[in-house]
Structure 1
Amino acid sequence: MRLIGSLTSPYVRKVRIVLAEKKLDYELVLDDPWAANTQAPAFNPLGKVPCLILDENETLFDSRVIVEYLDTLSPVGRLIPPPGRERIAVKRWEAIADGIMDAATSMIQESRRPQEQQSASWADRQKGKIYAALDHMNSLLGEQPYCTGVNLCLADIAVGAALGYLDFRNPSLDWRARHANLARLTEKLDARPSFVSTRPPDA
């Protein structure tokens, strides 16, 4: 398998963490979807990363689709429960974590526009989404060791990738100050080899 993506994308990092946790072999092909010579549109009509190219040259895109597929490839460390309430709970965590990534990446893109074209109200709206999501996740996590109980699952990987991206791109948000439960979870996740090996290069 080949994974098309960048070292700084939180969506790509989520997939790479799953690959590491599942002990699956793959080739990482670096690509900047914002560059003029990006390969992404050849594999994803939306021009986004990550893209996973399978041995049969079939292509999967969108991190949620890719990680669901990867979890079926090996019984090692199953990360997504079978269909039912537990599975829905995991996917709900993933959805809100991805929402944080969406808002954070939107803030970054807005900050890269010419100063006179930037919208402070747009940035504030994204920041509000992030804080609301953090408050919700912190409350939902409570004193549990992991997002859905006592075992690591996709929910934790998605949340860890999202919070890692805030640390990387939006450190001024200082999310730990108000979210002790998430800070405790992040400290535990950051010690895992799958998280250590996928940290962005400047983090």
Structure 2
Amino acid sequence: MYKLVNAGPSPYGRKVAVALHEKGLPFETIYDLPWAEATETRRHSPLEQLPILLRDNGEAIYDSSFILDWLEWFHPETALLPGPLEDRVQARRLQVLGERLMEVAQAMIFEHHRPAPAQAVIERQERKLNSGLAAAEELVANSVIEGDRPHLGEIALATTVLAWEFVIEQGMIPKLPALVWSSRFSNIAKLVRRLECRESFERSRPKPMTVDFDTELK
């Protein structure tokens, strides 16, 4: 059985958990605090980043994007990427947007928590978020990819924007306007609300976690 080292609210770990559920692969989740002194993360990832997928033989697979690729390679019987090349390209494009949007959001959130936030940096990240969401909205609106399961692009986008909702609801971050997406991007909202009803999303709901921004920003 696989073990997934994850952080409670992490969209990176959640997208791997969703993929594991969609593929019908049993796994155990180990919740970790990657910035603590002695952690599972440090033991298994030279980058000290989550998530990490542990195999029974002790091999550690790290970086969420690579883990998703690895699962496609070693468990291709339940594919989470479409077969036709053009459809696969579109799915990958949406996956890139979903993953990079989370990175941009993190950069903006961290900048807000600095003692003297740089407004120019915040505005640049907000611009990236708005343009990235607009691009994702267009891709979702024009998608003709068929399939009974969500593809990796849809999973990446959904887990990212749902993570924003969760951390705002939990009071982990302020309600930053750039992260309030559902009323502005109706096609993304329709996709995400549909995916939320799937068992894979129900079983991988995020969990609260104390985030020490002072430690993270050192």
Specify if TM > 0.5. yes
Find the counterpart in structure 2 of residue 128 from structure 1.
Answer: 127
What 5-or-longer segments of structure 1 have no aligned partner? none
In structure 2, C-alpha distance between the alignment counterparts of 1:28 and 1:201, rounded to whole Å: 12
In structure 2, C-alpha distance between the alignment counterparts of 1:111 and 1:51, rounded to whole Å: 28
1:101, distance to aligned residue in structure 2 (A): 0.9
Q: What is the RMSD of the two structures over their aligned residues, measured on CA atoms? A: 2.1
1:119, distance to aligned residue in structure 2 (A): 2.6
TM-score (norm 2): 0.81
Maintained 8 Å contact 2:9/2:167? no
Secondary structure in 2 matching 1:36: coil
In structure 2, C-alpha distance between the alignment counterparts of 1:161 and 1:36, rounded to whole Å: 28
Cα deviation code 1:47-70 (max 9, x no counterpart): 100111112222111111101112
Maintained 8 Å contact 2:95/2:157? yes
Find the counterpart in structure 1 of residue 10 from structure 2.
Answer: 9
% identical equivalent positions: 30
1:35, distance to aligned residue in structure 2 (A): 2.0
1:82, distance to aligned residue in structure 2 (A): 4.9
Q: Given residue 96 of structure 1, which amino acid in structure 2 is its aligned partner?
A: L
Find the counterpart in structure 1 of residue 116 from structure 2.
Answer: 117
Distance 1:82 1:139, change over 3 A: closer
In structure 2, C-alpha distance between the alignment counterparts of 1:124 and 1:77, rounded to whole Å: 41
In structure 1, C-alpha distance between the alignment counterparts of 2:39 and 2:111, rounded to whole Å: 21
Maintained 8 Å contact 2:87/2:145? no
Q: Does 1:150 align with 2:146?
A: yes
Q: Given residue 139 of structure 1, which amino acid in structure 2 is its aligned partner?
A: E
In structure 1, C-alpha distance between the alignment counterparts of 2:142 and 2:82, rounded to whole Å: 22
Find the counterpart in structure 1 of residue 47 from structure 2.
Answer: 46
What 5-or-longer segments of structure 2 have no aligned partner? 169-174, 209-218
Secondary structure in 1 matching 2:182: helix
Find the counterpart in structure 2 of residue 24 from structure 1.
Answer: 25
In structure 1, C-alpha distance between the alignment counterparts of 2:33 and 2:118, rounded to whole Å: 25
Greater Cα offset, 130-139 or 38-47 = 38-47
